[in-house]
Amino acid sequence: MVEVEALEHGFGLRPVLDLPSWRVGTGEHCLVVGPSGSGKSTLLHLLAGVAAPRAGTVRVAGQDLAALTPSARDRFRGRTVGLLLQTFHLLDTLNVFDNVRLARRLAGLPEDRARCREVLEALGVAEVARARPSTLSHGQAQRVALARAVVNRPPVILADEPTSSLDDESCERVAALIEAEAARHGATLVVATHDSRLHGRFERRLVLDAGGPAA
Ligand SMILES: Nc1ncnc2c1ncn2[C@@H]1O[C@H](COP(=O)(O)OP(=O)(O)OP(=O)(O)O)[C@@H](O)[C@H]1O
Ligand SMILES: [Mg+2]
């Protein structure tokens, strides 16, 4: 479950988000749509607790993020949130497989190489498991970052433009995998996108306005 109340955020004098009340229940899938600059990524950053809102409350899986210290918030995110951001933050000192393995270690979960292989295969990037992230195409790196986001079977999956760099076949594969992973584990799924290929897919939708809320 993710839930916000009286949420406001902005940069400088410019308001970007104003959400009086919005909730995505356990097991629900919600698309966040809106033009470039409407605040989709900003909302996902707030839901993931990588940024703090100017005002209002963000609860994820029942936890008020503001009540956690920064290190507790990092631990909470590692265990609870599968996060795919627009920048992937893959570590180039590790190969693809070890980037995915690391997500389990950081969350304090036991080693599970079969699970790591399973998600890489499902996303069509098993053949680059030994490669360094910097040698991948953008679309491959995106799928590896998604593999890392879902490998721990998180109860909440947040994905920012997960299909933006993908051809139609990979787009279909990635969208189907995100939905299947979420459904298999009863996860709450929030996908921000302006990819019109995804627009018909989810039962719930939040539409953000161009240029943010009126000042
Ligand atoms: N760190 C920041 N500092 C200042 N302004 C920012 C920052 N991050 C985002 N913004 C501004 O906030 C607004 C919303 O940005 P955001 O990235 O959330 O939009 P978006 O809907 O995700 O766009 P896109 O579809 O292009 O990814 C934009 O006007 C952007 O310039
Ligand atoms: Mg964005």
Is there a contact between 207 and 19 (Cβ–Cβ < 8 Å)? Answer: no
pLDDT at 156: 97
Beta carbon of 40 within 6 Å of any ligand 1 atom: yes
pLDDT at 203: 86
User: Where along the chain do its domains lie?
Assistant: 2-86+136-142+149-206
pLDDT at 214: 63
Beta carbon of 39 within 6 Å of any ligand 1 atom: yes
Among 38, 87, 194, residue to substitute to test ligand 1 (most atoms within 8 Å of Cβ): 38
**Average pLDDT per block of 10 residues along the chain, 215 residues long:** 97 94 96 94 96 97 97 91 92 98 91 96 95 95 94 95 89 88 92 91 90 65
Measured CA to CA in angstroms, residue 7 lies from 56, 83, 135, 214 at distances of: 4, 20, 40, 15
Alpha helices in the chain (DSSP H): 40-48, 70-80, 96-106, 113-122, 138-150, 168-184
Ligand 2 centroid from CA 85, angstroms: 8
Ligand 2 centroid from CA 110, angstroms: 33
pLDDT at 204: 93
Nearest CA to ligand 1 atom 3: 11
Ligand 1 centroid from CA 136, angstroms: 26
pLDDT at 208: 94
Distance (Å, whole) CA 21 – CA 126: 41
Ligand 2 centroid from CA 193, angstroms: 8
Statement: 2-86+136-142+149-206 belongs to CATH 2.40.30.10: no
Question: CA geometry: angle at 50 spanning 48 and 51, to 5°?
Answer: 110
pTM of the model as a whole: 0.92
